[in-house]
Amino acid sequence: MVPSVNTILQNYIWKGENEKLAIQLYNSPPITLDGFAERAVALKSQYADTLWHIDEKMNLLEEALVSSNRELGCFTPEVKASISSLKEGAVESAHQTVVLGGPAYILNKPITAKRIAELCAEKDVNLSTYFCVADYDIVQPELTNVRIPVFGQGGTLVSIPVPQGFEYSPVNVLPLPGHEWYTQIEEEIRSSYRPMFKTLEGPSRSLFEERLEHALSITRWSYSNSSSLGEWVKRILGRLFNVEGNLGVPLVSASHPKIRELLTEGLEFLLMQENRELFLKTVNQITTEITDAGFNPGMGGREQDYVPFYYECTNKECNSARTELHYSEQGNTAVLTGKCPSCSEPIVIETSIDSPYLGEMAANLSLRVDSRQMAIDTIIPTIVHVGGPGEAAYYSQVIPAAKAMSIPFPLFVRYPRVYFNTPWNESLARVLEEKGNTVLHRGEMFSLSGKVSRFRKKGRFDEMNDAISDLSTFILETHSKLNQEHAQLELEIEVKKGEEVELLLSHKFDLERYLSWTFGQFAEGKLGQESSWSWIEWAINSGFGNLFGPYERAYVGPMKNGATMFVNFAI
């Protein structure tokens, strides 16, 4: 299997490998969480030279964000302060709009950004934070589905229906079903957890039930005050980040009308003939270099008719259908053409190749994955971007393009991957360990996790990072070993008969549950507890008073970026 390009970044930080390629693709990425301050000063200076963030523009941005965050019910004094200081430079986290708010790492991203800003402040480099809601993507299963653990392998699927006529629409306009649908979803979530809570006794069980009801009250309040999937998700995130967690992280909705207007200048900049050609040339060159080096790029090369944005059809019955545009030139005129995938109406936009003007259609322009960061940077001087493995892959192609275009671009940091303990995971682990399985919840893992904590508290950070590296290896090796044991069980089942088969099938069922609950392996190829399960799974184990506490305590400055951690809620 060809490794992803994101392994270049990870192996450079943790093993010192692929130094030349890592420096080229990720612009000499900082090694530790506290390694951004000096680079931030230089980036601030670069942004100042662009004249993108003039006072008039930043005042309009502030007005838009104050209004939108107040409307979402998350305009706290801390959010207000963060909005006011965005012009000084910011650390960004971002994610798409996912039903029910998204997976557990939706909490990990903003707190990582917050910690980086705090660590920079300790070195007298002040940065704000914000969370970009990428609510412009077309409806697709990874956005309309999310899972809750269930007393089985597959998990309970929470899925929002896509009405006819919305197949090509961005998620921000997808209408919410009626309350009957939502009520059913709530009951399915309760039913999923009910048998798992049976492993708890007395006050512990009551506590977990109360936490679940607290989580559902958040999703219910957000649902009752929203009309679209985009609005529902933003209300959930705003509540979690800034009311429950008080992070002071404003939401920047890429589809908000005022934000679209402000982004237009950035899209015009990217459409300019020289910039578009430099982007294309560099991305395609880097894509080839990544492939030749034996890695799988995050995205394919770009065609010569590439346009750095999509167009949303204005016909009412098309529900803002997201339309790809194609570039051509006629003399000094850039001609952008497309066909609405819903009504098939042709779209033609003509503008200057050297000085494009898109102001008249700002409300209908939509970002795309490869241009999003550059466009956002023209309204907010973004110093650091916090992302996951998927973003680490395609940023490796965009970062060199920004350098070729001589524009500032944020430093990339991969947020730490977190595994965490739950009572049902640990209870099932004991059952499997008695049957001879190599479970994660065993003495060696708790010993490694304890070492990380002890070295952190004692300020022995080199040893802490070594222990983190050992923990990461241990988790991955345990996952691999369990899958081997599962395969062996399947072979044994094929040749056994009678009661032996029943016992082996029961054992196999338990092992599949454990792989699902602990590693997020609800299906083949899935891995990552915090990426497979809804944020609710984290919240009912952490409690809302401690929602971000485990991250804050673990994320110390000398910790290497992209760590793999284990949080033991049982302590």
What integer pLDDT is reported at residue 298 of this predicted model? 93
At a CB cut-off of 8 Å and minimum separation 6, what does 135 contact? Answer: 96, 97, 170, 171, 172, 230, 233, 234, 253, 254, 255
Range 372-399 average pLDDT: 98
Take residue 118 and report the two structure tokens written for it: 């705090």
Q: Is the pLDDT of residue 119 over 90?
A: yes
Task: Determine the Cα–Cα distance for residues 437 and 385; give it in Å rounded to an integer.
Answer: 40
Residue 87 DSSP label: G
Instruction: Measure Cα distances from 212 to 208, 209, 528, 539 in Å.
Output: 6, 5, 22, 8
Mean pLDDT across 115-133: 99
Q: Please state, in angstroms and rounded to a whole number, the distance separating the CA atoms of residues 376 and 373.
A: 5
Instruction: Tell me the pLDDT band of 496, cut-offs 50, 70 and 90.
Output: confident
Range 148-167 average pLDDT: 95
Binned at pLDDT 50, 70 and 90, residue 199 comes out as confident
Lowest mean pLDDT among 297-311, 319-333, 382-396, 491-505: 491-505
Q: What is d(CA 93, CA 111) in angstroms, rounded to the nearest whole number?
A: 9
Q: Alpha helix locations (H) across 240-298?
A: 257-271, 273-292
In this structure, are residues 68 and 269 in contact, taking their beta carbons and an 8 Å threshold? Answer: no
What pLDDT score was predicted for residue 552? 98
Alpha-carbon distance of 144 to 134, in angstroms, equals 14
Query: What is the per-residue burial (b if ≥16 Cβ within 10 Å, else e) of 440-475?
Result: bbeeebbebbebbbebbeeeebeebbebbbebbebb
**Mean pLDDT for the chain?**
97
Residue 358 reports pLDDT greater than 60: yes
Q: Is the pLDDT of residue 408 over 80?
A: yes
Confidence at residue 418, expressed as pLDDT on a 0 to 100 scale: 98
pLDDT of residue 471: 99
Per-residue pLDDT, 497: 84
Per-residue pLDDT tens over the stretch 372-384: 999 999 999 999 9
8 Å CB contact between 185 and 179: no
Q: Calculate mean pLDDT across residues 330-340.
A: 99
Name 531's Cβ contacts closer than 8 Å, sequence gap at least 6. Answer: 103, 104, 105, 388, 520
Taking the domains of the chain in order of start, what are their residue ranges? 1-25, 55-257, 303-357, 419-567
pLDDT attached to residue 412: 98
Best CA proximity match to 307, nearest among 321, 325, 322: 325
pLDDT computed for residue 422 by the predictor? 96
Rounded average pLDDT over 261-279? 98
Task: Supply the pTM of this predicted model.
Answer: 0.97
Provide the pLDDT confidence category of residue 21 given band limits of 50, 70 and 90.
very high
Query: What's the whole-number mean pLDDT along residues 32-53?
Result: 97
Over residues 556-571, mean pLDDT? 93
Q: Which residues contact 261 (CB under 8 A, 6 or more apart)?
A: 362, 363
pLDDT given at position 1? 86
Q: What are phi and psi of 228, to 5 degrees?
A: -135, 165
Confidence at residue 60, expressed as pLDDT on a 0 to 100 scale: 99
Q: How confident is the model at residue 475, as a pLDDT?
A: 98
Which residues lie below 8 Å from residue 460, measured CB to CB, with a gap of 6+?
Answer: none
d(CA 529, CA 538): 10
The strands making up 382-387's β-sheet, listed across from edge to edge, are: 251-253, 128-134, 90-96, 382-387, 411-414
145-148 and 156-159 beta bridge pairing: antiparallel
Which of the residue ranges 302-316, 452-466, 522-536 would you say has the lowest mean pLDDT? 522-536
In degrees, rounded to 5, the angle at the alpha carbon of residue 267 between the alpha carbons of residues 404 and 22 is 30
Q: How confident is the model at residue 570 (pLDDT cuts 50, 70, 90)?
A: confident
Cα separation, 277 vs 327, in Å, equals: 11
Q: What is the C-alpha R_g of the chain?
A: 24
Share of the chain above pLDDT 90, in %: 97
* Residue 272 confidence class, pLDDT cut points 50, 70, 90: very high
pLDDT of residue 460: 99
Position 571 pLDDT exceeds 60: no
Q: Compute the average pLDDT of residues 234-257.
A: 98
How does pLDDT run across 521-558, given as a tens digit for each residue? 999 889 999 999 999 999 999 999 999 999 999 999 99
Sheet holding 365-366, edge to edge: 322-323, 310-312, 365-366
